Amino acid sequence: MAKATGTAKSAKPPVNVSDEVSRGIIALLLKEPFYGHLLGGVVRSVDDRIPTAAVAITPQGLQLIVNPLFFMNELKKDERVAVIKHEALHLLFRHLYRPLLKKGDAKLFNIAADLVVNQHIAPWPLPDMAVTIKQFPDMGLEPNMTLEWYYERLSNLRDDMQSGQDDEGEKGEKGTSGDKSPISKKALKQALIQEQQGDHSFWISGAGTELNESGAESPITEAMRQALESDLERHLLRAKDQTTAKAWGSIPSQIRQELEAMAERRKPQIDWKRTLRLFASSGYRTKVVATNRRASKRFGTFPGIRIQRKQRIAVVIDTSGSIQENTLTLFFSEIHGIWKNGAEIIVVECDAAVQQTYSYKGKKPTEVQGGGGTLFDPALAWVRTPRNGPFDACIFLTDGYASEPTTPPRCPLLWVVTSDGNTGDHLKFGRTVKLPAT
């Protein structure tokens, strides 16, 4: 979008911008619940250091940022909702993490990203300066294509424009009557010089940067990038789960397919409900809880009661140097599957020594500790120590490459080994399962 005008810049910033952003999200929640649920879990910020609006990576996680003068003075009421949805769609399509950011042209990437998301803004009205495929009628841009598809065609168009300028003396007619796409070239030239609908400068490029609390940029490691991407997917899937079946059916099929594919990728490879029942059936605690799903056997009234089993499980993660970041992501998918089945999870990060321990609450940590050699005994000894337990079971996630352990835990032990790992006889004191190849 265009920058705020000179009149708007000199105006006094409205005092209720945060409330107006909240109203826009509520409007989405009422009419398109998925986007409202998604943005309900994102930190919101009003900041005049950006020209328009943005989604950014911050130490606090995902953030929606708006320029107060732009948001209030340059946009009509429904256009504000359109801009908010526009930013939500960038999150949905995970444009903040695309590999093309690292190797491509930033301006063309921004335009291609906007071409993707602006096709899904309806029923909210786009501001006049928004970039759409209708502005490129003589390029044959098809709807519902990927960012990479649009980027390639825009790149070819720009190269054609530059070639026409470089060879103007020899090919003067190419830029006039012989030009096959004059409208699109004019639209691309305008899009390259104008401010975009959202500020994309805080999107991650390769190792990338993040917007810190002071507004400056600081490096983001590859491990942090993958953790943040995993956190974004968690936000998206939580919004999907909160969306009713009726509202889900109204979402365009392309977006539904994107979310369903994401959910499929994040499914644990092991059926933990069955595995835990067979593996640790003798080790669990119980409590009586009320439930409206059944009547009381004694009084025939609601709520009734049921017996809830609760297992306390130590999950050891091999964080040695041989474990790559994508393997750690796989490990935490399995941990999440265990946790969703009602178990209390204590995570033990260990390479050649126990690095840190913590209770898992449904979210992957930003980074893990380790990177050294591999020993099984330090973690098994920690699980065995009475002051750390008791545990109903221990699950050890590893690639299996270490010497034979000598310390048996005081509870059932299950080795979960990567698809390319070592499941030899050295994995003692418990059963072994292997993760399927992905």
pLDDT band at residue 48 using 50, 70 and 90 as cut-offs: confident
Task: Look at residue 340 in the predicted model and tell me its pLDDT.
Answer: 81
Task: Look at residue 93 in the predicted model and tell me its pLDDT.
Answer: 87
Average confidence (pLDDT) over 280-308? 58
Task: Look at residue 189 in the predicted model and tell me its pLDDT.
Answer: 86
Task: Look at residue 234 in the predicted model and tell me its pLDDT.
Answer: 78
Task: Look at residue 208 in the predicted model and tell me its pLDDT.
Answer: 43
More confident residue, 296 or 171: 296
Residue 109, pLDDT above cutoff 50:
yes
Over residues 140-198, the pLDDT tens digits come to 899 989 899 999 999 999 888 887 654 444 444 344 444 668 888 888 888 887 766 56
CA distance 40 to 209: 24
Q: What is the largest CA-CA distance in the chain?
A: 96
Question: pLDDT > 90: what percent of the chain?
Answer: 28
Average confidence (pLDDT) over 64-72? 91
Phi, psi of 349, rounded to the nearest 5 degrees: -90, 125
DSSP 143: T
Over residues 340-380, the pLDDT tens digits come to 877 889 999 999 999 999 999 888 887 888 889 999 999 99
Residue 337, pLDDT above cutoff 60:
yes
Average confidence (pLDDT) over 422-426? 88
CA distance 295 to 256: 38
CA distance 178 to 162: 15
Task: Look at residue 210 in the predicted model and tell me its pLDDT.
Answer: 47
Residue 3, pLDDT above cutoff 60:
no
| Domain(s) of CATH 3.40.50.410: residues in the chain | 272-434
Question: pLDDT > 70: what percent of the chain?
Answer: 73
Which region among 70-84, 219-233, 241-255 has the lowest average model confidence (pLDDT)?
219-233
Over residues 77-95, the pLDDT tens digits come to 999 999 999 999 998 888 8
Beta strand 304-310 with 393-398 is unpaired
Task: Look at residue 179 in the predicted model and tell me its pLDDT.
Answer: 62
Average confidence (pLDDT) over 410-432? 88
Mean pLDDT score across all residues of the chain: 79
Residue 119, pLDDT above cutoff 90:
yes
CA distance 14 to 160: 45
Is 80:197 a contact under the CB 8 Å cutoff? no
Is 257:248 a contact under the CB 8 Å cutoff? no
CATH superfamily entry for domain 272-434: von Willebrand factor, type A domain (3.40.50.410)
